[in-house]
Amino acid sequence: MDADLTDASWRAARAAEIAERALAETVELVSISSPSGDAAAAERAVGAAIEMLPALAEVERIDCSSPGHAPDLIATMAGTGERRVLLVGHLDTVVAHSSHRPAALAGNRMVGSGTVDMKGGDALALGVMRALAECTGAFAELALLFVNDEEFRTAPFVHGPRFEAFDACLCFEGGERLADGTEAVVVKRKAASAMRVEADGVAAHSGANPDEGRSALMALAGVATDLAALHDPLGPEALSVVPTMMRAGEAMNAVPATGELLVDMRADRESSFDAVHSAVPQEADGVGFQVERLRLWPALDAREIAAAPLARAAELLGRPIAGAVRGGASDASNLAPHIPLAIDGLGPLGGFAHNPHEHLLVDSLEPRAEVALAIAAAVLE
């Protein structure tokens, strides 16, 4: 007989089990260094995740949004209920193999590359799916999507149309807790974009005739400074403009003739990025510029539609759940145009994502599992 998702004692017991297994499963997933773009490493991570799925799940591998990447993972379970829910995560990290740190416990912290962004969240998503396998009467279809390119995707996200018949998307990026201790999930995210500025200058010998050259490096440095001056995250458009990478030059003793600058941008609206593109001149000091948009991820704003499910989930949980706002983008944003309700930030608490000190808080695994199960119960009612 199916378990009752609204049964608080059942959810509490399953949350404890999820947390216990998530600790070991996060260690296993983090032990696999899987930077974006390494297809062989992604295959190892996907293989580990498949072993953690419930027995009822049917596994499918589908083309990744980014060419050259390992296929993404979809796992599905059919039920006898009425609603469809998608659980979302990613298995790639921004950390190169040479900088990868395997998981290590330091008190209440599990330190390691990808612990909070987002292999700890993946472990919770897998645990929630295993728990819901006991409640097949609560859903018509439950799906889990793990992608291999979230951290460095420049191609359009391709999976949205696949899930247009679904009622809700729950994404397990790192969670939040308010200063007063209230558990929080993410219901609003900024739009995200990135652009490449290519510079075409004139090479010259840096010792014999440097003034005959036109330095792409110096020109790009000026563009980077000018674009960074547009950074205004507290302004009316909440616009952040951050130059992140620059490359120029081919020899130590030559004026650089070519180069490129990469710029990351976030804002409340996609249209805010147009002003940043327009701020790049066609030419400066004899160096020409070409601008290419690398990606454009939509904004997510589920504050209104998520209010009732979060209120119901808080009632089931017996404590409040707050809706939070976050600047970083995630695949919940890419799925939101296709699925009526997208709630993010269901993963564990932690910090220093994309940093050598990245970690998750071990004692957050169980309460975050409780939150995820309560929200799943609410959106499936």
Q: Are residues 290 and 308 in the same domain?
A: no
| Buried/exposed code over 334-369 (b: 16+ C-beta within 10 A; e: otherwise) | bbbebbebbbbbbbbbbeebeeeebbbbbebbbbbb
Which residues, listed in sequence order, are joined to residue 86 by a DSSP beta bridge? 143, 169
Long-range contacts of the stretch 227-231 (C-beta < 8 A, 24+): 227/263, 227/276, 227/279, 227/280, 230/275, 230/276, 230/279
The C-alpha atoms of residue 5 and residue 131 are separated, in whole angstroms, by 9
Amino acid 185: pLDDT: 98
Q: Are residues 202 and 262 in the same domain?
A: yes
Structure tokens at 117: 């962004």
Q: Is residue 244 part of a domain?
A: yes
CATH of the domain at 365: 3.40.630.10
Indicate whether 30 and 114 sit together in one domain.
yes
Strands 183-189 and 104-106: unpaired
- Number of structural domains found in the chain: 2
Same domain, 118 and 138: yes
Q: Within this chain, do residues 140 and 262 fall inside the same structural domain, yes or no?
A: no
Same-domain pairing of 143 and 210: no
**Inside any domain, residue 2:** no
Element at 341 (helix H, strand E): strand 341-343
What token pair was written down for 136? 């097949």
CA angle, 87 as apex, 83 and 90 as ends, to 5°? 160
Would residue 158 count as lying in a domain?
Answer: yes
Same domain, 243 and 344: no
CA distance 300 to 269: 10
Q: Which pLDDT belongs to residue 329?
A: 84
Cβ 264 vs Cβ 242: under 8 Å: yes
Are residues 213 and 285 both part of a single domain?
yes
Please report whether residue 66 resides in a domain. Answer: yes
Of the three residues 279, 296, 313, the one that is the final residue of a domain is: 296
Report the number of secondary-structure helices (H) and strands (E) in the chain. Answer: 8, 21
Do 37 and 56 have their domain in common? yes
Choose one of 296, 328, 343: the last residue of a domain. 296
Range of the domain at 209: 192-296
Q: Do residues 181 and 33 both lie within one domain?
A: yes
Q: Are residues 202 and 241 in the same domain?
A: yes
pLDDT along the chain (381 residues), means of 10: 92 98 98 97 98 98 96 98 98 96 96 97 98 97 98 93 98 96 97 96 95 97 98 95 96 96 96 96 96 94 97 97 92 96 98 94 98 98 90
Using alpha carbons, select from 237, 217, 125 the residue that is nearest to residue 171: 125
Q: Which residues pair with residue 341 across a beta bridge?
A: 168
CATH number assigned to the domain comprising residue 247: 3.30.70.360
Q: Quick check: helix, strand or coil at residue 326?
A: strand
Give residues with Cβ within 8 angstroms of 172, minimum separation 6: 87, 88, 89, 118, 121, 122, 124, 125, 346, 347, 372
**Pairing mode, strands 168-171 and 84-90:** parallel
What SS3 class is residue 208? coil
| Shared-domain flag, residues 140 and 228 | no
What is the pairing mode between strands 204-205 and 254-255?
A: antiparallel
Q: Would you say 172 and 40 are in contact if contact means Cβ atoms under 8 Å apart?
A: no
Residues 187/323, Cβ–Cβ less than 8 Å: yes
Query: Element (H or E) spanning 62, and its range?
Result: strand 58-62
Instruction: Please state, in angstroms and rounded to a whole number, the distance separating the CA atoms of residues 223 and 201.
Output: 14
Domain limit, last residue, from 296, 318, 345: 296
What residue type is 166 in one-letter code? F
Going by DSSP bridges, is the β-strand pair 109-111/359-361 parallel, antiparallel, or unpaired? Answer: antiparallel
Is residue 331 in some structural domain? Answer: yes
With CA atoms as reference, report the closest residue to 130 among 235, 240, 199, 52. Answer: 52
Contacts 24+ apart (CB under 8 A), 53-62: 53/126, 53/129, 53/130, 53/144, 54/129, 54/130, 54/133, 55/133, 56/133, 56/136, 57/129, 57/133, 57/144, 62/159, 62/162
Angstrom distances, CA of residue 88 to CA of 12, 122, 193, 302: 22, 8, 21, 16
Other beta carbons within 10 Å of 293: 13
Q: Establish if 1 belongs to a structural domain.
A: no
User: Within a domain: residue 376?
Assistant: yes
Tell me if 3 is assigned to some domain.
no
Prediction pTM value:
0.91
In terms of DSSP H, where are the helices of the chain? 8-30, 39-51, 120-132, 216-228, 273-278, 303-317, 331-335, 365-380
